Structure 1
Amino acid sequence: MLSINNLSYFIGGRALYENASLHIKPKDKIGLVGLNGTGKSTLLKIINGDFQPSSGEIQKAKDCTIGFLNQDLLSYQSEESILDVALEAFQETLRLQEEIDAVLKQMETDYSDEVINKLAKLQDQFEANEGYTIKAKAEEVLEGIGFNTNDLQRPLKTFSGGWRMRVMLAKLLLEKPSLLMLDEPTNHLDLPSIQWVENYLKTYEGAVIVVSHDQDFLDNCIESTVEVSHGTLTLYSGNYSFYKEEKKERMEIQQNAYENQQQMIKQTERFIERFRAKATKSNQVQSRVKALDRLDRVNEVVDDNISVNFKFKFSQKSGRDIVSLENVSKAYGDLVILKNTTARIERGDKIALIGANGKGKSTLLRIIDGTEPIDGKREHGFNVIKSFYAQHQLEALNVNNEILQEMSQAGSKKTEQELRNVLGCFLFSNDDVFKKIKVLSGGEKSRVALAKTLISEANFLLLDEPTNHLDMQSVNILIQALEQYEGTFITVSHDRHFIKGVANKIWYIESHEIKEYLGSYQEYVDWKAKQEFVKPIVPSVESAPKVEAPKRKEVNQSEANLIKKELKKKQQDLEQVENDISSLEKKKAALEIEMAKPEVYADAEKLEALNKDYATFQAKEGVLNAQWEKLAEEIESLEMELS
């Protein structure tokens, strides 16, 4: 569908891409990953035609259409309602509607066969384009990504940049281009909206390329990963988690090859130095010199994963209770956020506050901080020292300060070397620490603000969306820092990878009350799924009518014989599925051994074929496991009938 061939792109004298190639097929779901500054967004703009490559070419099929969501769309404004803006995705259908309206107006005075036939033809085209459903489709997508039904008629210009970006995403999804390119689509989405987009992309009929720092989002909606590194594009046949494991194995092989080659080079160079002056060895020396010149050098592995070690210092330890809220209510006019809710934060709690936008998460953080007026009782514990990180703190940075100077003013009394060590953990090394705040990117400013928060010696942190504008490497650094933090914190975040890494409690707001789940985020997700599963089946205690349990129907001998026969067949089927699963697991194990062989890694084509086979086995295993679960349930049901 689209081919990138020997692409080179230079910024000044630096090669962002050099002879890079990639082939995108219909229905490909690709995640584009790499460190900040490697050119991921630039590649999307080159594909879109916004930038011209220095050399090489991009070929696309004649019927290939491209839809591109990028951060530049934040500035787009319109007087039209967001529903009308989304409906612009159906330009041809809207044009037909206008023509139909014009013909209907004409028919008020002209009933000729020509006009009637024209109307019939237009209506047939309109119906073929599913014109009668476009409004419902637009409403479904807009509500899926977080808009309320009442919002749909509001003008686009009345929404903030993040919400306007959601409207542009909705419009793109409705256009259904052959190739959908999304640059950080989760930046302005809450968790329910992110999950909705994931599900939409899974079944999207066209190809998708996604740039995102949200690792769970990538895992859930892509099928292959392309890494941008050192000016090249490297394909991995799996989602982000597969890419991480595969890259680790490839790096080990590359490092071994590099070390072996370096040893060979040293031996060859010693031979050359030793026998350079001997005439009898001149031919052998020249042969080895030429061999070194022709040698295809293996690059040493540069590990992008950074392990950090923070040394947090508290001037004083807090008491057991950090914050207590009792019968707290908060409302903005008719908008009720909290109503007579009670909650408590204890020392050592690491709380993730999750949920949809508009539920009052940031308001609750301010309530806990003590800066938001409330009805009810709020009490801070003994020796609690707070530090609050929020996006507005980026604006509070002194833009004329250098990074090191800004850190020294945080009041931590750390030495310059200690501050440099902390900044090194946040990817500011050597002379980077002397950069002015005003020249930093949004992500770099976020890292500075976070570093200031973490060195504040506070024993209680309040973190509002700390992963916004951070790349994957920076998110992992923050996770490591908070894992080592011995104090207490509460964070608002929509990044599931981050939440999984740091939280030991989950808070969410439901029915204007603070609800608490004691456990990790994954445990919460599993619990929530079970709750949703049984919700329509088991009515609440308050609403359930008090009725006697139905008596079990008696089974006569004839029916019992039929059930036994059916039970035996199901048990045989279950045994066969178990055998199939066992056989498949053996095949997967054999394939894993084959894939681990060095000669296989050296053969990219063979490795790709084996990866595809492995993916096929995984898919078959999923189908067999589903069959096993269904049969097990049916057997259990039949056994209950006989009991």
Structure 2
Amino acid sequence: MLSINNLSYFIGGRALYENASLHIKPKDKIGLVGLNGTGKSTLLKIINGDYQPSSGEIQKAKDCTIGFLNQDLLSYQSEDSILDVALEAFKDTLKLQEEIDAVLKLMETDYSDDVINRLAKLQDQFEANEGYTIKAKAEEVLEGIGFNTKDLQRPLKTFSGGWRMRVMLAKLLLEKPSLLMLDEPTNHLDLPSIQWVENYLKTYEGAVIVVSHDQDFLDNCIESTVEVSHGSLTLYSGNYSFYKEEKKERMEIQQNAYENQQQMIKQTEKFIERFRAKATKSNQVQSRVKALDRLDRVNEVVDDNISVNFKFKFSQKSGRELVSLENVSKSYGDLVILKNSTARIERGDKIALIGANGKGKSTLLRIVDGTEPIEGKREHGFNVIKSFYAQHQLEALNVNNEILQEMGQAGSKKTEQELRGVLGCFLFSNDDVFKKIKVLSGGEKSRVALAKTLISEANFLLLDEPTNHLDMQSVNILIQALEQYEGTFITVSHDRHFIKGVANKIWYIENHEIKEYLGTYQEYVDWKEKQEATSLPKQVKVDAPKVEPKKREVSSPESNLLKKELKKKEQELEKIEIEISKLEAMKLALEAEMAKPEVYSDIEKLEKLNQEYTNLKSREASQNKDWEYLVEAIEDLQEQVS
């Protein structure tokens, strides 16, 4: 259907592609992957005819039509309703409708056989084009990607860029080109819409090429993967997960071949050096020199997967409960977000807040943060230090600062070497750290803002769509960092690979209430599927499936005594946590004092401080034992009371 033959494309003196080839067959479902800057979006623009190759050619069949969704469409504006814009996909059929309307108008005065025959012919053609169903098809696709029925008549210009992009996606899907090219289609979609598009693409009759950082999306809708790397296009005959495994095997084979070849080269060079001056060996030496010149060199493997060791540092440990929401209600006029909803966030929770756009996820995040006015009770726990990451953090970066300078203003008190280490984890190495913020791409700015958030010494992170603008490598780095994070966080995200990697609890808003699933995202999906299959009533709070022992019945007077005891134990626990925090602070102060040169040289003073330090450690160990005992006692009491 379409062939790319010996394609080369240069930007300045740099070869983005060099003699690259790829053949696309009808019904191929291809994922185009590679690091940022390797030329994935550029290739789509070359195929579309927006850019001309430096050399090589692209051949396509005469009946091959191309549809291209790219970020440039964000600026498209129109006075027409979004339904009318989507219906532009059927321009030939709409033209027939106009001709039919004109003939019907003519028939008010002209009943001749020619006019009647013309009308019949147009109507037959209109029916053959399924003209009577195009409106229903357009409505189905628009609603599938997240629009409400009442919004379909709103002008396109009244929607934000992300929603306008959805309309352009709907139009492309309705056009059904022979080759559909999608550049980051999930960037502006919520989770239900992403899943709808996945199902649509699985049965799409034409060929599809997708560029996406969403690994689960690729796994669910592609059948082969093409990697863009070192100016070449390498085909893998499977989805993204297959590609990762296959690439790993190929890299091992390549590395072995490289090492074997290097050993052979070394031995050959030794032979040449040893016998170069001997006339009797001159023919053999020359033969080996020529063999080395002709040798097709195997490249050493460069592993793009980065493992990071991110050291988090808290100045204070939070109390057991970080946020408590009781009977919280939130509305914007007639739009109800929450109604008498209750939820709690405890230390160690790693919560993914999921669901469709418009349900109030970002609003709930601000409610948890304490910056959104509410009706009801909201309390933040002891020693909670928050750090909030959202897209506006990108605009908050000082564009005139260098990256290293901007990181230094995060208030972490880290040394330049430590900051360089953090930036290295986020793919800024060597002189990259001196780049001005204003010259960075959206993805690079996101990485800087995320790095600032993570070094803030906060023990509670609030992350609103942290994977937006990040490529796969950066998403994996963020997952690794959050896996090593010992604090608490809540994140809004539509990236399932990210959620699977970091969350131990799932929150979602349903019927204006915060619902909670105590388990991983995959466990939540499995539970949800069972719920839908059996039509069981949804629970406000469910735990990961397990068999619970029967609880003994507790009488009302006994229950009241248990509740009083529980409250007493919780108060004792709070006091101990405060005492532990004080002891930790005193230890830090003593360590700083003992490190001073004048103290270190004063043996008598140093021994005295050492004794104090030992006593503090002993008190802290005792308090920690009491803390563990109280936690277990409280959990037992909670089970008896519930």
TM-score for both structures, normalised by structure 2: 0.84
Is the 2:531–2:538 Cα contact (8 Å) retained in structure 1? no
Paired with 1:518 and 1:371, the residues of 2 have a C-alpha distance of 26
Quick one: which amino acid aligns to residue 83 of structure 2?
Answer: L
Quick one: which amino acid aligns to residue 58 of structure 1?
Answer: I
Quick one: which amino acid aligns to residue 22 of structure 1?
Answer: L
Q: Does structure 1 residue 372 correspond to structure 2 residue 372? A: yes
Quick one: which amino acid aligns to residue 75 of structure 1?
Answer: S
Paired with 2:443 and 2:291, the residues of 1 have a C-alpha distance of 46
Partner in structure 1 of residue 626 of structure 2 = none
Point out where structure 1 has 5 or more consecutive residues left out of the alignment: 542-643
What pairs up with 1:155-174 in 2 under 5 angstroms?
Answer: 155-174=155-174
Paired with 2:67 and 2:369, the residues of 1 have a C-alpha distance of 43
Quick one: which amino acid aligns to residue 113 of structure 2?
Answer: D
What pairs up with 1:488-507 in 2 under 5 angstroms?
Answer: 488-507=488-507
Partner in structure 2 of residue 86 of structure 1 = 86
Q: Does structure 1 residue 64 correspond to structure 2 residue 64? A: yes
What pairs up with 1:374-523 in 2 under 5 angstroms?
Answer: 374-523=374-523
Residue 27 of structure 1 aligns to a residue in which SS?
Answer: coil
Is the 2:531–2:537 Cα contact (8 Å) retained in structure 1? no
Quick one: which amino acid aligns to residue 73 of structure 1?
Answer: L
Partner in structure 2 of residue 263 of structure 1 = 263
Partner in structure 1 of residue 321 of structure 2 = 321
Quick one: which amino acid aligns to residue 478 of structure 1?
Answer: L
Residue 23 of structure 1 aligns to a residue in which SS?
Answer: strand
Partner in structure 2 of residue 348 of structure 1 = 348
Paired with 1:130 and 1:515, the residues of 2 have a C-alpha distance of 44
Residue 514 of structure 1 aligns to a residue in which SS?
Answer: strand
Paired with 1:290 and 1:92, the residues of 2 have a C-alpha distance of 65
* 1:193-221 CA distance string (max 9 Å, x none): 00000000000000000000000000000
What pairs up with 1:183-194 in 2 under 5 angstroms?
Answer: 183-194=183-194
* 1:127-154 CA distance string (max 9 Å, x none): 0000000000000000000000000000
Partner in structure 2 of residue 300 of structure 1 = 300
Partner in structure 1 of residue 577 of structure 2 = none
Quick one: which amino acid aligns to residue 269 of structure 2?
Answer: E
Paired with 1:288 and 1:540, the residues of 2 have a C-alpha distance of 75
Paired with 1:112 and 1:168, the residues of 2 have a C-alpha distance of 43
* 1:479-526 CA distance string (max 9 Å, x none): 000000000000000000000000000000000000000000000000
Paired with 1:391 and 1:111, the residues of 2 have a C-alpha distance of 64
Quick one: which amino acid aligns to residue 419 of structure 2?
Answer: L
Partner in structure 2 of residue 50 of structure 1 = 50
Residue 359 of structure 1 aligns to a residue in which SS?
Answer: coil
Q: CA deviation at 1:237?
A: 0.2
Paired with 1:528 and 1:223, the residues of 2 have a C-alpha distance of 27
Quick one: which amino acid aligns to residue 135 of structure 1?
Answer: K
Does the C-alpha gap of structure 1 residues 369 and 232 become closer, same or farther in structure 2, counting only changes over 3 Å? same
Q: CA deviation at 1:22?
A: 0.2
Partner in structure 2 of residue 206 of structure 1 = 206
Partner in structure 2 of residue 553 of structure 1 = none
Residue 125 of structure 1 aligns to a residue in which SS?
Answer: helix
Residue 476 of structure 1 aligns to a residue in which SS?
Answer: helix
* 1:344-364 CA distance string (max 9 Å, x none): 000000000000000000000
Partner in structure 1 of residue 215 of structure 2 = 215
Task: List structure 1 segments (4+ residues) > 6 angstroms apart after TM superposition.
Answer: none
Paired with 1:117 and 1:531, the residues of 2 have a C-alpha distance of 57
Q: CA deviation at 1:63?
A: 0.2
Quick one: which amino acid aligns to residue 42 of structure 1?
Answer: T
Paired with 2:25 and 2:486, the residues of 1 have a C-alpha distance of 49
Paired with 1:449 and 1:540, the residues of 2 have a C-alpha distance of 38
Q: CA deviation at 1:191?
A: 0.1
Quick one: which amino acid aligns to residue 408 of structure 2?
Answer: S
Residue 379 of structure 1 aligns to a residue in which SS?
Answer: strand
Does the C-alpha gap of structure 1 residues 309 and 16 become closer, same or farther in structure 2, counting only changes over 3 Å? same
Paired with 2:538 and 2:508, the residues of 1 have a C-alpha distance of 20
Residue 491 of structure 2 aligns to a residue in which SS?
Answer: strand
Partner in structure 2 of residue 549 of structure 1 = none
Is the 2:32–2:226 Cα contact (8 Å) retained in structure 1? yes
Paired with 2:271 and 2:319, the residues of 1 have a C-alpha distance of 70
Q: CA deviation at 1:540?
A: 8.8
* 1:208-256 CA distance string (max 9 Å, x none): 0000000000000000000000000000000000000000000000000
Partner in structure 2 of residue 568 of structure 1 = none
Paired with 2:311 and 2:304, the residues of 1 have a C-alpha distance of 22
Paired with 1:2 and 1:132, the residues of 2 have a C-alpha distance of 33
Paired with 1:12 and 1:112, the residues of 2 have a C-alpha distance of 67
Q: CA RMSD in A?
A: 0.8
* 1:305-339 CA distance string (max 9 Å, x none): 00000110000000000000000000000000000
Q: Does structure 1 residue 133 correspond to structure 2 residue 117? A: no
Paired with 2:272 and 2:319, the residues of 1 have a C-alpha distance of 71
Q: Does structure 1 residue 24 correspond to structure 2 residue 24? A: yes
Partner in structure 2 of residue 330 of structure 1 = 330
* 1:410-457 CA distance string (max 9 Å, x none): 000000000000000000000000000000000000000000000000
Q: CA deviation at 1:398?
A: 0.2
Is the 2:349–2:505 Cα contact (8 Å) retained in structure 1? yes
Quick one: which amino acid aligns to residue 269 of structure 1?
Answer: E
Quick one: which amino acid aligns to residue 396 of structure 2?
Answer: A
Partner in structure 2 of residue 110 of structure 1 = 110
Quick one: which amino acid aligns to residue 492 of structure 1?
Answer: V
Partner in structure 2 of residue 124 of structure 1 = 124
Partner in structure 2 of residue 101 of structure 1 = 101
Quick one: which amino acid aligns to residue 20 of structure 1?
Answer: A
Paired with 2:57 and 2:188, the residues of 1 have a C-alpha distance of 33
* 1:110-165 CA distance string (max 9 Å, x none): 11111111111000000000000000000000000000000000000000000000
Residue 174 of structure 1 aligns to a residue in which SS?
Answer: helix
Residue 181 of structure 1 aligns to a residue in which SS?
Answer: strand
Point out where structure 2 has 5 or more consecutive residues left out of the alignment: 540-642
Quick one: which amino acid aligns to residue 487 of structure 1?
Answer: G
Partner in structure 2 of residue 567 of structure 1 = none
Paired with 1:293 and 1:343, the residues of 2 have a C-alpha distance of 71
Partner in structure 2 of residue 591 of structure 1 = none
Paired with 1:248 and 1:472, the residues of 2 have a C-alpha distance of 16
How many residues get paired?
539
Partner in structure 2 of residue 621 of structure 1 = none
Q: CA deviation at 1:373?
A: 0.2
Quick one: which amino acid aligns to residue 184 of structure 2?
Answer: E
Quick one: which amino acid aligns to residue 494 of structure 2?
Answer: H
Residue 84 of structure 2 aligns to a residue in which SS?
Answer: helix
Partner in structure 2 of residue 617 of structure 1 = none
Paired with 1:339 and 1:540, the residues of 2 have a C-alpha distance of 17
Partner in structure 1 of residue 636 of structure 2 = none
Does the C-alpha gap of structure 1 residues 100 and 453 become closer, same or farther in structure 2, counting only changes over 3 Å? same
Paired with 2:288 and 2:108, the residues of 1 have a C-alpha distance of 94
TM-score for both structures, normalised by structure 1: 0.83
Residue 376 of structure 1 aligns to a residue in which SS?
Answer: strand
Q: CA deviation at 1:539?
A: 7.4
Paired with 1:99 and 1:127, the residues of 2 have a C-alpha distance of 14
Paired with 1:121 and 1:291, the residues of 2 have a C-alpha distance of 74
Paired with 2:289 and 2:104, the residues of 1 have a C-alpha distance of 86
User: Percent of aligned positions with the same letter in both sequences?
Assistant: 95
Paired with 1:510 and 1:465, the residues of 2 have a C-alpha distance of 20
Quick one: which amino acid aligns to residue 376 of structure 2?
Answer: G
Quick one: which amino acid aligns to residue 328 of structure 1?
Answer: V
Q: CA deviation at 1:463?
A: 0.1
Paired with 1:78 and 1:252, the residues of 2 have a C-alpha distance of 53
Partner in structure 1 of residue 587 of structure 2 = none
Partner in structure 2 of residue 4 of structure 1 = 4
Residue 127 of structure 2 aligns to a residue in which SS?
Answer: helix
* 1:507-559 CA distance string (max 9 Å, x none): 00000000000000000000000111111xx6799xxxxxxxxxxxxxxxxxx
Paired with 1:39 and 1:421, the residues of 2 have a C-alpha distance of 28
Paired with 1:378 and 1:96, the residues of 2 have a C-alpha distance of 60
